[in-house]
Structure 1
């Protein structure tokens, strides 16, 4: 088998992608805990699953191999010891508290088959699932009203963020928000133990134990030598610096430049890919609101310094000029979300109008609801494949957010 990971651009023909089908974790969303679990609304599970299946089939129709996170994770638990270790780490990181013992929860989870175990961990463990007879202390009967021993993980269908393939390796990310921290543990075990990956040398450019956060929605691979990374609400400058140093000193990596792009740190502009994506060799989507007067932004080009622990950093203010510089282009096009109209751009940005998934140069998958942005993309010669989005969009992420490219052809 060829190397199982290979991504050197945002637009190279997509061959293999990792998805997560929305599951019971969404049924465990309630109004009281939406903010804690990073949701603004509660999707209707049967419909969101239909829409996600439509999205997956749209990719298959283009010859793309679709892998599922939940299936790979269950197949990675290849023996009893790995399964037990995985459960212990999930419980430790889940910060389960007082009303039930660690051992009781561990025994409960280990009673499931691998497939059901993964679904249960992703879906969460409600307090009413544990028999009252297992409780031995008065305070354990006088429980608070919080319904979970182990929180659900409703953001998992956004597979872009916990890990990101860069070249023939990947980052396994430390997520900023506590509600998402456990998500990258699945990819750690998949890369380490799943037969598809375990027999290959897979460099981990930055692992989930690094103390500063980074998320895949901020990581965009412009070409085989250049990565753009958002300095955002979810990704820190320190993590970007460390990733750049690790890439530049590693002989397995071809990358020579990292473009660090600062974006406003707010919910609507969560990651760089919610405001900026690459759709063709010389075309990009953009939400105009990320630019200041005269289009100015804070942009930094990181290159290798005089030694392995030093970076050369230069400042830029124009996104267009910076992109032309690092990509060697004389000209390029920034296509504004919602056509730049104040109302349409804000509305469609909220519904991820700039969050396109390129599956080949000039071919993108988008949400059908963003009709203004989609029409403008078509006017610029982009083939737009629309997918259903009534319920999927409630999670505040678009087609790029919902997909982790594993293999792309080089461009």
Structure 2
């Protein structure tokens, strides 16, 4: 006869099998999350090409891995299942034909034919095991890796000084952006910057072909072929009825409206989409770099996104008269718009760095507002943002600090580094 613990465990497993993706809030107890451990792609950053690859500095690989492992262990110690993007991708590509198809897609999107290297690169990549191949694609392929004897054309033999056949993907450890869970489905995102566009291809293959997801007909609310950009750092699930999406340097208003239309059309539970306009600059890259939810009625915010009276542009999108139109209304105060949309009488905005001109700017740059809620009122943050962390504690939030000297060099915090797959529902 099964024990109570065994029965409970079996029920939990069955729930996950029925709902491989389930995220209806930012703060519901986190059960399953997707990470990517930084790898060789970080060591393939060089000063000449930092801007091209969207980095400001070069992290030290042994330490950034140690810090990321600490982050992962912190989550596991809280009972959270940690999945790794690289492992899921390798498991997905165990089928030889699918592996070939993926390589062809990667080479096409990498524009490998421009320098005539597609054929030799395809042969080179397919010579590896699935796990080794995934690591190689993520870390990038240097020209010097290909034997000179295989370079038979003039354009292959001439040195144009650029060291890579395939660029590395150092931003992959920010798993939040290429895809984002919404309800029992997800968006597979069209990324704004060329350096990141290939990243969402991994999630497209995983959702379609990995046994954990493939048999569950997971809805894709917006796919990566949509012509206007959207990124997961701008997508915040405030409740099972309300989503906030940043109109940012990386996410377009056109993509937000199309996503809203698709959600309303497919009869999902979501009734409102708040389009929140933020300054379009590198420091304020996504909405979650300046604003996150930490409890039922508490949010972090960077004061720099608001005007003198707390004014900013917020547009509320709701279902229109037909499937191709939404009703749009404008609000000029974020706090009031949130209270209205969430049905709250009171709401607290906790300022990054305590609102101090210097501290708030410094700690926002190091992702002081980029918190990962793992349960209502419990958040993971970088240890370096001590002023913001202390202020969160003063507001009754449990703060779980992680190491951050090298992780923070990529300009993303704990929320950026995690893609929730399953969260428990929150009480109404």
Question: Which of 230, 234, 238 is equivalent to 1:218?
Answer: 234
Partner of 1:406: 421
Pairwise mapping of residues 242-257 of structure 1 onto structure 2 (< 5 A)? 242-251=258-267, 253-257=268-272
Question: Cα RMSD over matched residues?
Answer: 0.7
Structure 2 counterpart SS, 1:208: coil
| Residue ranges of structure 2 left out of the alignment (5+ in a row) | 1-16
Question: Which of 317, 325, 335 is equivalent to 1:320?
Answer: 335
Partner of 1:42: 58
Residue pair 2:117, 2:156 contacting (<8 A) in 1 also:
no
1:195 equivalent in alignment to 2:211: yes
Pairwise mapping of residues 100-111 of structure 1 onto structure 2 (< 5 A)? 100-111=116-127
Instruction: Give the whole-Å Cα distance in 2 for the aligned partners of 1:101 and 1:39.
Output: 26
Pairwise mapping of residues 147-162 of structure 1 onto structure 2 (< 5 A)? 147-162=163-178
Gap change, CA 1:30 and 1:97, over 3 Å in 2: farther
| Residue ranges of structure 1 left out of the alignment (5+ in a row) | none
TM-score, with length taken from structure 1: 0.99
Task: Tell me the alpha carbon deviations over residues 46-73 of structure 1, each in whole angstroms, 9 at most, x when there is no partner.
Answer: 0000000000000000000000000000
Instruction: Give the whole-Å Cα distance in 1 for the aligned partners of 2:312 and 2:292.
Output: 16
Partner of 1:51: 67
In the TM superposition, structure 1's runs of 4+ consecutive aligned residues that sit over 3 Å from their partners are: 97-100
Question: Which of 223, 233, 250 is equivalent to 1:234?
Answer: 250
Question: Which of 337, 350, 359 is equivalent to 2:365?
Answer: 350
**Superposed displacement of residue 143, structure 1:** 1.1
Partner of 2:161: 145
Instruction: Give the whole-Å Cα distance in 1 for the aligned partners of 2:183 and 2:156.
Output: 50
Question: Which of 83, 102, 106 is equivalent to 2:99?
Answer: 83
Question: Which of 265, 281, 284 is equivalent to 2:299?
Answer: 284
Instruction: Give the whole-Å Cα distance in 2 for the aligned partners of 1:190 and 1:120.
Output: 18
Question: Which of 169, 180, 183 is equivalent to 2:185?
Answer: 169
**Superposed displacement of residue 2, structure 1:** 2.6
Instruction: Give the whole-Å Cα distance in 2 for the aligned partners of 1:124 and 1:163.
Output: 21
TM-score, with length taken from structure 2: 0.95
**Superposed displacement of residue 99, structure 1:** 4.3
Instruction: Give the whole-Å Cα distance in 2 for the aligned partners of 1:188 and 1:313.
Output: 31
Partner of 2:312: 297
**Superposed displacement of residue 100, structure 1:** 4.4
Task: Tell me the alpha carbon deviations over residues 131-182 of structure 1, each in whole angstroms, 9 at most, x when there is no partner.
Answer: 1011123343221110000000000000000000000000000000000000
1:340 equivalent in alignment to 2:355: yes
Residues paired across the two proteins, number? 410
**Superposed displacement of residue 216, structure 1:** 0.1
Instruction: Give the whole-Å Cα distance in 2 for the aligned partners of 1:408 and 1:376.
Output: 26
Partner of 2:195: 179
Instruction: Give the whole-Å Cα distance in 2 for the aligned partners of 1:175 and 1:104.
Output: 28
